[in-house]
Amino acid sequence: MADLSIDFAGIRSPNPFWLASAPPTNSGAQIHRAFEYGWGGAVWKTIGAPVLNISNRYGSLSIGGQRMLAINNVELISDRPLDVNLREIAEIKRLWPDRAVIVSAMVDADPQAWKDIVMMIEDTGADGIELNYGCPQGMSERGMGAAVGQVPEMCQLNTHWVTSVTRLPVIVKLTPNITHIVDPAHAALAGGAHALSLINTINSVTRVDLDTLLITPSIGGRGTHGGYAGPAVKPIALNMLTELMTDEGVLRSGVPISGMGGIATWRDAAEFLLLGASSLQVCTAAMQHGYRIIDDLTDGLSNWMDDHGFATIADVTGRSLPQMSTFGGLDLSHQSVARIDQNKCIGCDLCYAACNDTAHQCIDLVSPGGVTVDPGYDMRTNGRQVADTRPRPVVRESDCVGCALCANVCPVDGCITMVTVPSGRESVTWDELTAQRPEIAQSWAAMQAYREEVGIEIH
């Protein structure tokens, strides 16, 4: 059985699944219950500057009857008294010495303010500190949260103020509300950070009620931007994770990264690990389904690791990173085409509509001429098998560019697959090609000449 335990910047936990700093980690009673369920760690809901929260606090994105594809929150950091939080942190660590207890903190950009809060956190016996440089709502207007994370100089300075006065591992939580995630990561490392975590929530407005015309969530008839999280942000989180894990400066530092942003299943968790995360933080899924999801997360990940021969989390971490490339490093000669399994096709014609209207017009609707295609029991004909005379989508492979739009819109798993076929061209990347023949990137005439030379036809 796979060993799920981790050592993250000196912080040990029995599995890589931590509850992220958020409402699920608002109190000692909650975290105690989460640990009873089996969570490996928790990042305490951010403590620090005094705040007043509002209500309503949450909005969400639901599509096609699927609830909470993403959540939008306008909640601030902990509004519970600082002394209460600190007392409960100490109690939880005393009761659960084998679990990771990390305290998220946010104070004014002042060295004394940071020193004061850090000393208080150290006294609790907590395992580490996470510096919240990510919250995009409320606190950023006060010069904290994302206001620090978006300015590399401030990120470095604030981090230095903390690392210079504490013996605890310091994790810097990065904001995704920035053009280039690598810049604040470098700043955090220059400030002495022992680890990084990402992503925090994305600035957003999720919805306007078309009946009332109110922005949701509506707070006394007014709305504001909030932090966007949940399954819908996972691709953004994975991209930013790979940006860091393929950056030479981050790699040289050797610091671990705690990944979060849309982790709802063990499959999501495995993807984050494969792209370089070495601990995992979960929030929205727990808010939607409760702490009980930890069983599915640990069992699913463990079974998958067993199936693939991975003995430890370290064996998984970063295994897919060597595949990452810039566009210029991709093989221009690679050719794929779409193939449709007519035995699985339900005749919805979504692939045809998508290809014909918005892609490359290489799917035709072809009548089977009265020939039965996967006949089946039909209640309307008392079970008699009848010929299916509906036109069926058929790919013209000679014109297919392998864009894969049809495979993505098809509602039937495995009905449309992308199959690699010989292109007849020698392998070459854009970087290699333009180094050899720079005129191709400068002149359409040169580009066309090259296409004719190697047999590339654009229809």
Q: Which residues are the active-site residues?
A: 135
Report d(CA 331, CA 329) in Å as an integer: 7
Strand partners, 216: 207
H/E stretch holding 8 reads strand 6-8
Q: What torsion, rounded to 10 degrees, do the Cα atoms 436, 438, 444, 450 define?
A: -10
Strand partners, 105: 47, 131
Distances (CA, A) of 236 to 30, 131, 187, 202, 351: 29, 21, 21, 10, 26
- What does DSSP assign to residue 196? E
Where do the H-state alpha helices sit in 290-335?
Answer: 294-308, 313-316
Q: What torsion, rounded to 10 degrees, do the Cα atoms 284, 290, 291, 292 define?
A: -130
Nearest to 280 by CA among 234, 221, 248: 234
Cis peptide bond prior to 11, omega within 30° of 0: no
Q: CA neighbours within 13 Å on the CB side: how many for 142?
A: 19
- Residue that has been written with the tokens 């499959």 in this structure: 267
**In the chain, what is the greatest distance between 2 CA atoms, to the nearest angstrom?**
83
Distances (CA, A) of 381 to 281, 305, 375, 376, 387: 54, 49, 12, 11, 12
Is the separation of the CB atoms in 104 and 45 below 8 Å?
Answer: yes
- What does DSSP assign to residue 141? G
| Residues contacting residue 385 through CB under 8 Å, at least 6 positions apart | 372, 375, 376, 377, 378
